[in-house]
Protein backbone atom coordinates (compact mmCIF):
# COMPACT_ATOMS: atom_id res chain seq x y z
CA UNK A 1 0.00 0.00 0.00
CA UNK A 2 1.41 3.39 -0.93
CA UNK A 3 2.09 6.13 1.60
CA UNK A 4 -0.32 8.40 -0.29
CA UNK A 5 -3.24 6.11 0.56
CA UNK A 6 -2.82 7.03 4.24
CA UNK A 7 -3.23 10.76 3.57
CA UNK A 8 -6.74 11.94 4.62
CA UNK A 9 -8.90 13.01 1.70
CA UNK A 10 -10.01 16.62 1.87
CA UNK A 11 -13.75 16.86 2.49
CA UNK A 12 -15.60 19.41 0.37
CA UNK A 13 -18.45 21.50 1.75
CA UNK A 14 -20.85 19.86 -0.69
CA UNK A 15 -20.27 16.53 1.06
CA UNK A 16 -21.20 17.80 4.53
CA UNK A 17 -24.57 16.32 5.56
CA UNK A 18 -27.41 18.80 5.14
CA UNK A 19 -29.55 17.34 7.94
CA UNK A 20 -29.12 19.05 11.34
CA UNK A 21 -28.77 16.89 14.41
CA UNK A 22 -31.81 16.58 16.66
CA UNK A 23 -32.51 15.03 20.04
CA UNK A 24 -35.90 13.59 20.92
CA UNK A 25 -37.75 13.07 24.18
CA UNK A 26 -41.34 12.66 25.30
CA UNK A 27 -44.00 11.18 23.03
CA UNK A 28 -46.97 13.53 22.64
CA UNK A 29 -50.59 13.12 21.57
CA UNK A 30 -53.19 15.84 21.13
CA UNK A 31 -56.82 14.68 20.97
CA UNK A 32 -59.63 17.03 19.96
CA UNK A 33 -63.25 16.04 20.65
CA UNK A 34 -66.73 17.37 20.07
CA UNK A 35 -69.10 16.86 23.02
CA UNK A 36 -72.60 15.47 22.33
CA UNK A 37 -74.56 17.84 24.55
CA UNK A 38 -77.98 16.63 23.40
CA UNK A 39 -77.27 13.04 24.41
CA UNK A 40 -75.71 14.21 27.68
CA UNK A 41 -78.69 16.35 28.63
CA UNK A 42 -81.00 13.40 28.09
CA UNK A 43 -79.28 11.45 30.89
CA UNK A 44 -80.58 11.36 34.44
CA UNK A 45 -78.62 13.18 37.14
CA UNK A 46 -77.57 9.91 38.75
CA UNK A 47 -76.28 8.54 35.44
CA UNK A 48 -74.29 11.72 34.81
CA UNK A 49 -72.75 11.45 38.28
CA UNK A 50 -71.71 7.86 37.65
CA UNK A 51 -70.07 8.73 34.34
CA UNK A 52 -68.34 11.81 35.76
CA UNK A 53 -67.08 9.93 38.81
CA UNK A 54 -65.53 7.25 36.60
CA UNK A 55 -63.98 9.86 34.29
CA UNK A 56 -62.51 11.86 37.16
CA UNK A 57 -61.15 8.73 38.84
CA UNK A 58 -59.36 7.93 35.58
CA UNK A 59 -58.23 11.42 34.57
CA UNK A 60 -57.02 12.86 37.88
CA UNK A 61 -54.13 10.35 38.26
CA UNK A 62 -53.21 11.00 34.61
CA UNK A 63 -52.85 14.71 35.41
CA UNK A 64 -50.35 13.86 38.18
CA UNK A 65 -48.55 10.97 36.50
CA UNK A 66 -44.84 11.38 37.43
CA UNK A 67 -43.64 9.83 34.16
CA UNK A 68 -45.72 12.03 31.86
CA UNK A 69 -48.83 14.08 32.44
CA UNK A 70 -52.15 14.56 30.70
CA UNK A 71 -54.07 17.83 30.67
CA UNK A 72 -57.59 18.75 29.64
CA UNK A 73 -58.58 22.04 28.02
CA UNK A 74 -61.89 23.51 26.90
CA UNK A 75 -61.51 24.64 23.29
CA UNK A 76 -62.71 27.99 22.00
CA UNK A 77 -64.83 28.14 18.88
CA UNK A 78 -66.21 25.57 16.46
CA UNK A 79 -63.16 23.30 16.04
CA UNK A 80 -64.07 21.14 18.99
CA UNK A 81 -65.08 21.21 22.64
CA UNK A 82 -62.35 19.35 24.49
CA UNK A 83 -58.61 19.01 24.00
CA UNK A 84 -56.62 16.29 25.74
CA UNK A 85 -52.83 16.64 25.72
CA UNK A 86 -50.75 13.63 26.75
CA UNK A 87 -46.99 13.64 27.37
CA UNK A 88 -45.44 10.19 27.95
CA UNK A 89 -42.02 8.55 27.90
CA UNK A 90 -42.80 6.22 25.00
CA UNK A 91 -45.35 5.53 22.29
CA UNK A 92 -46.52 2.47 24.25
CA UNK A 93 -47.32 4.64 27.29
CA UNK A 94 -48.97 7.14 24.95
CA UNK A 95 -51.22 4.41 23.58
CA UNK A 96 -52.12 3.38 27.13
CA UNK A 97 -53.20 6.96 27.85
CA UNK A 98 -55.27 7.04 24.66
CA UNK A 99 -56.99 3.78 25.61
CA UNK A 100 -57.76 5.04 29.11
CA UNK A 101 -59.67 7.97 27.62
CA UNK A 102 -61.35 5.67 25.12
CA UNK A 103 -62.46 3.19 27.76
CA UNK A 104 -64.29 5.55 30.13
CA UNK A 105 -68.04 5.76 29.56
CA UNK A 106 -67.74 9.50 28.95
CA UNK A 107 -66.12 8.66 25.60
CA UNK A 108 -69.54 7.56 24.35
CA UNK A 109 -70.42 11.28 24.33
CA UNK A 110 -67.16 12.44 22.73
CA UNK A 111 -66.70 12.51 18.96
CA UNK A 112 -63.07 12.78 17.79
CA UNK A 113 -62.59 15.71 15.41
CA UNK A 114 -58.83 15.39 14.89
CA UNK A 115 -55.62 14.40 16.65
CA UNK A 116 -51.91 15.03 16.39
CA UNK A 117 -49.03 12.66 17.11
CA UNK A 118 -45.50 13.92 17.65
CA UNK A 119 -42.41 13.78 19.83
CA UNK A 120 -40.59 16.51 21.74
CA UNK A 121 -37.72 17.61 19.51
CA UNK A 122 -34.82 19.97 20.04
CA UNK A 123 -32.92 21.03 16.94
CA UNK A 124 -29.15 21.24 17.41
CA UNK A 125 -28.31 23.66 14.61
CA UNK A 126 -25.48 25.41 16.44
CA UNK A 127 -23.94 22.16 17.70
CA UNK A 128 -24.33 20.62 14.25
CA UNK A 129 -22.52 23.45 12.46
CA UNK A 130 -19.77 23.49 15.09
CA UNK A 131 -19.31 19.71 15.04
CA UNK A 132 -19.45 19.31 11.27
CA UNK A 133 -17.05 22.21 10.77
CA UNK A 134 -14.57 20.71 13.21
CA UNK A 135 -14.78 17.30 11.56
CA UNK A 136 -14.41 18.79 8.10
CA UNK A 137 -11.36 20.83 9.09
CA UNK A 138 -9.76 17.56 10.18
CA UNK A 139 -10.73 15.96 6.84
CA UNK A 140 -12.89 13.34 8.55
CA UNK A 141 -15.17 11.75 5.97
CA UNK A 142 -18.92 12.13 6.60
CA UNK A 143 -20.54 8.97 8.00
CA UNK A 144 -17.19 7.30 8.60
CA UNK A 145 -16.71 5.50 11.96
CA UNK A 146 -14.77 8.48 13.36
CA UNK A 147 -17.44 10.93 12.15
CA UNK A 148 -20.29 8.84 13.58
CA UNK A 149 -18.54 8.33 16.91
CA UNK A 150 -18.12 12.07 17.46
CA UNK A 151 -21.71 12.79 16.41
CA UNK A 152 -22.96 10.11 18.81
CA UNK A 153 -20.95 11.69 21.61
CA UNK A 154 -22.40 15.14 20.87
CA UNK A 155 -25.96 13.78 20.87
CA UNK A 156 -25.44 11.88 24.14
CA UNK A 157 -23.96 14.95 25.81
CA UNK A 158 -26.79 17.20 24.64
CA UNK A 159 -29.45 14.70 25.72
CA UNK A 160 -28.04 14.64 29.22
CA UNK A 161 -27.77 18.41 29.42
CA UNK A 162 -31.29 18.99 28.10
CA UNK A 163 -33.14 16.13 29.78
CA UNK A 164 -35.61 18.46 31.53
CA UNK A 165 -36.52 20.08 28.20
CA UNK A 166 -36.86 16.73 26.45
CA UNK A 167 -39.23 15.35 29.10
CA UNK A 168 -41.08 18.45 30.31
CA UNK A 169 -43.96 18.74 32.71
CA UNK A 170 -47.09 20.19 31.13
CA UNK A 171 -47.01 23.80 32.33
CA UNK A 172 -49.67 24.71 34.88
CA UNK A 173 -51.06 27.69 32.95
CA UNK A 174 -54.59 28.81 32.19
CA UNK A 175 -54.33 28.70 28.40
CA UNK A 176 -52.77 26.66 25.64
CA UNK A 177 -52.29 27.43 21.94
CA UNK A 178 -51.45 24.50 19.68
CA UNK A 179 -50.71 24.56 15.95
CA UNK A 180 -48.84 22.41 13.42
CA UNK A 181 -46.42 23.86 10.91
CA UNK A 182 -44.15 23.06 7.95
CA UNK A 183 -41.12 24.64 6.33
CA UNK A 184 -41.80 25.69 2.75
CA UNK A 185 -40.48 23.58 -0.10
CA UNK A 186 -41.05 23.95 -3.81
CA UNK A 187 -41.87 26.90 -6.04
CA UNK A 188 -39.13 29.52 -5.74
CA UNK A 189 -38.42 29.07 -2.02
CA UNK A 190 -37.32 25.83 -0.42
CA UNK A 191 -36.10 25.63 3.17
CA UNK A 192 -34.52 22.24 2.57
CA UNK A 193 -32.19 23.48 -0.15
CA UNK A 194 -30.63 26.23 1.97
CA UNK A 195 -27.09 25.56 3.23
CA UNK A 196 -26.92 24.27 6.79
CA UNK A 197 -25.10 27.35 8.05
CA UNK A 198 -27.78 29.64 6.58
CA UNK A 199 -30.56 27.65 8.23
CA UNK A 200 -28.65 27.83 11.50
CA UNK A 201 -28.38 31.62 11.20
CA UNK A 202 -32.08 32.07 10.57
CA UNK A 203 -33.10 29.72 13.37
CA UNK A 204 -30.81 31.56 15.79
CA UNK A 205 -32.47 34.88 14.96
CA UNK A 206 -35.89 33.23 15.25
CA UNK A 207 -35.03 31.88 18.69
CA UNK A 208 -34.00 35.31 19.97
CA UNK A 209 -37.61 36.50 19.66
CA UNK A 210 -38.92 33.58 21.71
CA UNK A 211 -36.38 34.18 24.44
CA UNK A 212 -37.77 37.67 25.00
CA UNK A 213 -41.08 36.04 26.00
CA UNK A 214 -39.45 33.49 28.31
CA UNK A 215 -41.18 34.78 31.44
CA UNK A 216 -44.61 34.99 29.82
CA UNK A 217 -44.96 31.86 27.69
CA UNK A 218 -43.64 28.31 27.75
CA UNK A 219 -43.02 26.87 24.29
CA UNK A 220 -42.69 23.16 23.56
CA UNK A 221 -41.74 22.10 20.03
CA UNK A 222 -42.53 18.58 18.86
CA UNK A 223 -41.39 16.84 15.70
CA UNK A 224 -43.95 14.95 13.64
CA UNK A 225 -42.18 14.03 10.39
CA UNK A 226 -43.23 10.45 9.72
CA UNK A 227 -45.87 10.63 12.47
CA UNK A 228 -48.49 13.08 11.21
CA UNK A 229 -49.44 15.35 8.31
CA UNK A 230 -47.26 18.31 9.27
CA UNK A 231 -43.59 18.50 10.17
CA UNK A 232 -43.76 20.05 13.63
CA UNK A 233 -46.29 20.82 16.33
CA UNK A 234 -46.03 23.85 18.60
CA UNK A 235 -47.55 24.17 22.05
CA UNK A 236 -47.59 27.57 23.74
CA UNK A 237 -48.65 27.75 27.39
CA UNK A 238 -49.46 31.06 29.08
CA UNK A 239 -51.74 32.70 31.64
CA UNK A 240 -52.60 35.55 29.27
CA UNK A 241 -53.84 34.52 25.79
CA UNK A 242 -52.75 37.89 24.37
CA UNK A 243 -49.20 36.60 24.69
CA UNK A 244 -49.90 34.06 21.91
CA UNK A 245 -50.91 36.80 19.49
CA UNK A 246 -47.97 39.05 20.29
CA UNK A 247 -45.35 36.30 20.14
CA UNK A 248 -46.58 34.69 16.93
CA UNK A 249 -47.11 38.05 15.23
CA UNK A 250 -43.61 39.24 16.11
CA UNK A 251 -42.13 35.98 14.84
CA UNK A 252 -43.91 36.49 11.52
CA UNK A 253 -41.33 39.18 10.75
CA UNK A 254 -38.37 36.82 11.16
CA UNK A 255 -36.91 35.70 7.84
CA UNK A 256 -37.43 32.04 8.66
CA UNK A 257 -41.16 32.61 9.27
CA UNK A 258 -41.80 35.34 6.70
CA UNK A 259 -40.25 33.36 3.87
CA UNK A 260 -40.32 29.69 4.81
CA UNK A 261 -43.09 28.99 7.36
CA UNK A 262 -46.45 27.35 6.62
CA UNK A 263 -49.02 27.10 9.40
CA UNK A 264 -51.86 24.68 10.03
CA UNK A 265 -55.00 25.06 12.15
CA UNK A 266 -54.69 26.90 15.48
CA UNK A 267 -56.40 25.54 18.60
CA UNK A 268 -56.74 27.64 21.75
CA UNK A 269 -58.03 26.16 24.99
CA UNK A 270 -58.81 27.11 28.58
CA UNK A 271 -57.54 24.65 31.18
CA UNK A 272 -60.12 22.42 32.83
CA UNK A 273 -58.87 20.25 35.69
CA UNK A 274 -60.53 16.84 35.81
CA UNK A 275 -62.14 17.83 39.12
CA UNK A 276 -64.03 20.62 37.29
CA UNK A 277 -65.15 18.51 34.34
CA UNK A 278 -68.73 18.30 35.60
CA UNK A 279 -69.12 22.09 35.60
CA UNK A 280 -67.74 22.31 32.09
CA UNK A 281 -70.09 19.66 30.70
CA UNK A 282 -73.04 21.42 32.30
CA UNK A 283 -72.11 24.67 30.57
CA UNK A 284 -70.20 26.53 33.30
CA UNK A 285 -66.62 27.70 33.46
CA UNK A 286 -64.32 25.22 35.17
> Would you please indicate which residues are annotated as catalytic (active-site) residues?
179
CB 189 within 8 A of CB 259: yes
**What is the chain's length?**
286
Residue 256 · residue 198 · CB < 8 Å: no
Q: How far apart are the first and last CA of the chain?
A: 78
Cα 286 to the chain's mean position, in Å?
26
Q: How far is residue 209 from each of residues 119, 223, 235, measured CA to CA in Å?
A: 23, 20, 16
Q: 89-124 as b/e, with b when 16 or more CB fall inside 10 Å?
A: eeeebbeebbebbeebebeebbeebeebbbbbbbbb
Contact 25, 120 (CB under 8 A): yes
Amino acid sequence: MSVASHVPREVSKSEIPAVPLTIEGASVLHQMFRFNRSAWRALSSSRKEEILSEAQTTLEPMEKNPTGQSALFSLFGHKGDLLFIHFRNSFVELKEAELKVQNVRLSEYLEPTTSYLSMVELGLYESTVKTYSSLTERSVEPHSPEWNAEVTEVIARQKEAMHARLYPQIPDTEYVCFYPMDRKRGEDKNWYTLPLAERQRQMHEHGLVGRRYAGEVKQIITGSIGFDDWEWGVDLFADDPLTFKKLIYEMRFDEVSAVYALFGTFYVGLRCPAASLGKLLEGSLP
